[in-house]
Structure 1
Amino acid sequence: MNFRQKWLQAAQRKNSLLCVGIDPAEAAQRHGHQMPEGVSKTEWTRHIIDAVAPYTAGIKLNRNYFKDITREDMRSLNDRIHEQGMISIDDSKLADIGDTNDAGIYHAKQEGFDAITYAPFPGNTLQAGSQAQAHGVGLIPLVLMSNPEYRLMKNALINGEPLYRFLAKQSAEAQADGIVIGAPSPGNHITLEEIADVARILPEALVLVPGIGAQGGDIAPILGLFGPRTIANVGRAIIYAKDPAQQARSYRDLITQAHQGVPTGR
């Protein structure tokens, strides 16, 4: 079973398109939105996984926040995610030469992840796609990011077309299981035309959508184009809430309403 099939089954099983992104920041990393001091990162993450599981189809672990834990601990977290009926995404954003990417994909597989994110800057998307398929790991390339700096990048011309279209076409050729598109909002540069353009290029791919929740992104336009293939990621608004379970349920319901075309008021 490939990652696309795993996601669609999990979404149906959970009746949810919510994916919870977990980035356990330590006190020295930033003020606010951080783990309590003196707690085990692995145990804190396991608590979040258990709390959100009834309302969530996937968990995305930001690997840059977990560099201090062992393979065994990471494997135990992925085991818990799978026991709870969810899929797991290694948010490493690989971006290197082939051998290094292959090492990252290999270790993601050994740790029990179902998919891994990939930054296509080196231009080796086709190779990365083949490597991911060989290891049985889904590949999710970045295609249309919402950060302000990406406005310049997405409009740069590659072979006579905007970079984001070139990346979408490469993802399609590589048979990537999914892509990343940031949620559009009044405060960012992503347009509905760009999203629709990518959807035409990748009519069957999953789409991982950051930028919902604290960042104010709108999931409705993406749901209208991708439907149940949408992996709607919410992170800090859930994991640092007083009641993560209640927040997960609230976002699950908001995403469901948006999918059904019901105004959410948010």
Structure 2
Amino acid sequence: MPRAIFLKKETSMFEGKVAIILGASAEGGSGWEIATALADKGARVAVAARREAGISELARRTGGIAIKCDAAADADVKALVDRTISEFGRLDIAVLAAGSPVIGGICEIGDDDLERATAINYYSLVYFLRHVAPVMADGGAVLALTSLSATQVSPGYAAYAAAKAASQCAIRYAAIELAPRGIRVNAISPGLIESPMARAVIDIEALRHAMYKEIPLGRGVLPTEIAATALSLVAEHSAITGQSVVVDNGMSLRRPPFPEEIPAEAYQHGATSAGY
């Protein structure tokens, strides 16, 4: 009997809560696993991404709704939030898992790539906060996925890392601005995530070896592990706000591999999908 009561409590941990997860179209990816975990714990979820196919299937599995949304388009993000409120009547949790690595050093990256890196990895967070905060229930939670590259130099990712660093800075400011309403704002800063996006790294032996040798626990982080941390940060009992929580199996204790340590052909093939 006590065990049954415990399981019921765990299952209904987010009962009655409504969550948006933006960036959830890749099956088995971090956004997908966060949405699944929230739904499993009782939340009603609105899942969103630029690609409809993935989120339609995720919505079917979680009993939620799927909304096409480009995280780098302010109007799309507003429409996502408006639709969620229209469907569910409230918003308690908002997770921004969208992002995209953009390759290029400071002296070589073109303006188009610089703008793309900034739009998807920083402007998206500003748009997200701008539209979710005013309608979020007091005591709610906002979470964004950033990147270890924001604090650990990863050569070749200058624009991407700078945009993620800007997001981590914005998280701290938003935490202060929204604190009077009890809304907590945090980030997860992952190292290498063993997600569908990272298959190009994991499947190439030279790249895999270069990555793993710099990770004390010897492997990347699983999306389910990202989801477990996410749930702890958005839960009502959390006392954490304004933080970028590193989830990396110890990668930040060392460093990402440098390009010269990776065969050129392997680096070019897999670098855009590193996912950190």
The two structures have a TM-score, normalised by structure 1, of 0.34
More contact order relative to length (CA 8 Å, sep ≥ 6): 1
> Which one has a bigger Cα radius of gyration?
2
The two structures have a TM-score, normalised by structure 2, of 0.33
